[in-house]
């Protein structure tokens, strides 16, 4: 969901996002739901249709494992902010706390802040929440409060997924619908703030010159896949729980409309608040915009701190983020367990213990990201192991396997067996042409335009840190050619 942070200002991002949405995300989402429903299997089991490409499913599971470890760290941060919001004065409002430095200045207290001063919001994030160390080599100690928040996140995930996410329908419905209630409340509050129109104008004004920048298209393409959960195996796993003749086409189209509409509304909430912040600080909206986690943990809290009844709005905002984040974690956790059960069906008899084992394992690995140096490892995983480059590589082979090797016409006939009619030319063209072309083009562009990750614009990773990142990325990507190499030749053409 965009509420976590846009990679680019919306004026530069909306047009590429919706082009990629129509031409790639919609056909890919339909394909994954159909795969899961037809095979009644998760992300690995579906590849019995084309055994030589089973490595695609394994690659997805490896990436999902990394994603589970890293994504819930964001949930831990949200828990931290949510608990901190239950107070009369938000702890990031003022500069009189133990963690504040002499450089801390409250905006508006002594004129405009310059580069030598820091806001209480930024110091709360870096010195209270993260307690950031000097670099990747300086791991430091585990942050106890963040570790407890991380543990709480995994406890919730375990109790929802231990029987299978399809058995927890009421919980999923609540976590899916509840954020919309809060989003409407935040929407009404946001658009009524002074200066909100500044942000909304910035939001809807296209920056046509940005369309010529490949990096914007790379960001839009990868973001749209993340938004729909494509390539992670979670959509396939959820589709496998449908009845064979369920009209998934209807459901898929509804979701493909609701998802971008939700993003649009979330964008209105975000940019109305950014407009208010620009109004308060006498800056341009583009100057207060922050990409990535900075939007959720720096920009929005800074505005909330200036509102009447600030703790109430802070609780609502972080509660919405929490429900959205934990709901996504349910799906990826289910994807991993379903994939493992595909490979070893005997595990299904001991599913609660298998779920407990993997939740515990991923929690223990996640502790490395709630250390003082954890944010550096977090960004490394984000930039490599679960990067858009890795995701596009997997989606390319997934689509090519079905459309070119299994055959678009044959797969369309399989769809007809389920819903009574074949998908039209748009979907078949998407599988055979649009999605593969887009994925390989953006993947190559990402390689050509590769830049090493930089934390907070000041910390450059050491060479061994970059090597660690590339190793994590290659672990998943190399599963595809490795499985092809190891599979006996007589199994290449099997499909059933």
Binding-site annotation: residue ranges for Na(+): 259, 327-328
Let me know the angle formed at the C-alpha of 407 by 405 and 412, rounded to the nearest 5 degrees. Answer: 150
Let me know the angle formed at the C-alpha of 26 by 451 and 179, rounded to the nearest 5 degrees. Answer: 85
Q: Which of 96, 443, 35 is nearest to 233 (CA)?
A: 35
Q: Which of 9, 486, 445, 451 is nearest to 270 (CA)?
A: 9
Other C-beta atoms lying within 10 Å of the C-beta of residue 113: 16
Q: Which of 270, 294, 286 is nearest to 202 (CA)?
A: 286
CA distance 156 to 380: 26
Structure tokens that stand for 224 in this block: 């749209």
Name the helix (H) or strand (E) containing 459.
Answer: strand 459-460
Which residues, in sequence order, are CB contacts of 51 under 8 Å at separation 6+?
487, 491, 492, 494, 495
The residues facing 142 across adjacent strands are 371
The CA–CA distances, whole Å, from 111 to 108, 117, 123, 286, 304 equal 5, 11, 19, 20, 20
| N-term to C-term CA, the chain | 36
For the chain, the 3-state helix, strand and coil shares in percent, each to the nearest 5, are 75, 0, 25
CA distance 485 to 16: 37
User: What φ, ψ does residue 27 adopt, rounded to 5°?
Assistant: -60, -40
Annotated binding-site members = 259, 327-328
Let me know the angle formed at the C-alpha of 254 by 340 and 8, rounded to the nearest 5 degrees. Answer: 80
Residues written for the chain: 496
Burial of 199-215, coded b for 16+ CB within 10 Å and e otherwise, reads: bbebbeeebeebeeeee
Structure tokens that stand for 2 in this block: 């965009």
CA distance 250 to 420: 13
DSSP for residue 4: G
Sequence-ordered alpha helix ranges (H) in 230-350 = 234-239, 248-281, 285-288, 293-294, 300-304, 310-343
Sequence-ordered alpha helix ranges (H) in 344-434 = 351-366, 374-380, 388-400, 408-419, 425-429
CA distance 28 to 21: 10
CA distance 208 to 273: 24
């Amino acid at each position: 969901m965009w509420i976590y942070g846009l990679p680019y200002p919306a004026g530069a991002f909306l047009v590429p996002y919706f082009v990629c949405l129509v031409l790639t995300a919609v056909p890919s989402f339909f394909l994954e739901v159909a795969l899961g429903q037809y095979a009644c299997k998760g992300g690995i089991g579906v590849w019995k249709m084309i055994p030589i490409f089973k490595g695609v499913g394994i690659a997805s599971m490896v990436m999902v494992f990394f994603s589970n470890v890293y994504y819930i760290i964001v949930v831990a941060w949200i828990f931290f902010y949510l608990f901190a919001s239950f107070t009369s004065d938000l702890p990031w409002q003022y500069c009189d706390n133990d963690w504040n430095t002499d450089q801390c200045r409250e905006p508006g207290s002594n004129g405009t802040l310059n580069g030598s001063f820091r806001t209480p919001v930024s110091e709360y994030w870096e010195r209270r929440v993260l307690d950031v160390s000097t670099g990747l080599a300086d791991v430091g100690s585990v942050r106890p409060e963040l570790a407890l928040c991380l543990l709480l996140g995994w406890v919730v995930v375990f109790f929802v997924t231990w029987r299978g996410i399809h058995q927890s329908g009421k919980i999923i419905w609540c976590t899916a619908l509840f954020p919309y209630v809060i989003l409407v409340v935040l929407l009404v509050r946001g658009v009524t703030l002074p200066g909100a129109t500044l942000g909304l104008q910035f939001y809807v004004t296209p920056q046509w010159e940005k369309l010529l920048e490949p990096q914007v298209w790379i960001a839009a393409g990868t973001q749209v896949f993340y938004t729909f959960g494509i390539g992670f195996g979670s959509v396939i796993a959820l589709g496998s729980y449908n009845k064979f003749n369920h009209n998934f086409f209807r459901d898929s189209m509804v979701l493909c409309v609701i998802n971008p509409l939700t993003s649009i509304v979330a964008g209105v909430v975000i940019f109305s608040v950014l407009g208010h912040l620009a109004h308060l600080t006498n800056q341009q909206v583009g100057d207060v915009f922050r990409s990535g986690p900075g939007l959720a943990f720096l920009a929005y809290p800074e505005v909330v701190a200036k509102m009447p009844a600030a703790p109430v709005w802070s609780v609502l905002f972080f509660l919405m983020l929490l429900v959205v984040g934990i709901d996504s974690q349910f799906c990826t956790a289910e994807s991993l367990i379903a994939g493992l059960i595909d490979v070893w069906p005997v595990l299904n008899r001991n599913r609660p213990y298998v779920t407990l084992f993997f939740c515990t394992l991923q929690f223990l690995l996640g502790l490395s990201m709630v250390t003082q140096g954890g944010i550096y490892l977090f960004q490394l995983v984000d930039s490599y192991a679960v990067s858009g480059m890795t995701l596009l590589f997997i989606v390319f082979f997934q689509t090519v396997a079905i459309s070119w090797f299994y055959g678009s016409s044959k797969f369309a006939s399989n769809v007809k067996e389920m819903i009574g009619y074949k998908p039209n030319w748009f979907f078949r063209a998407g599988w055979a042409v649009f999605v593969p072309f887009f994925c390989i083009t953006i993947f190559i562009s990402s390689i050509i335009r590769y830049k090493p990750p930089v934390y907070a614009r000041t910390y450059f990773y050491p060479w061994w840190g970059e090597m660690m990142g590339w190793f994590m990325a290659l672990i998943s990507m190399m599963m595809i050619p490795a499985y092809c190499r190891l599979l006996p030749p007589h199994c290449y053409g099997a499909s059933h």
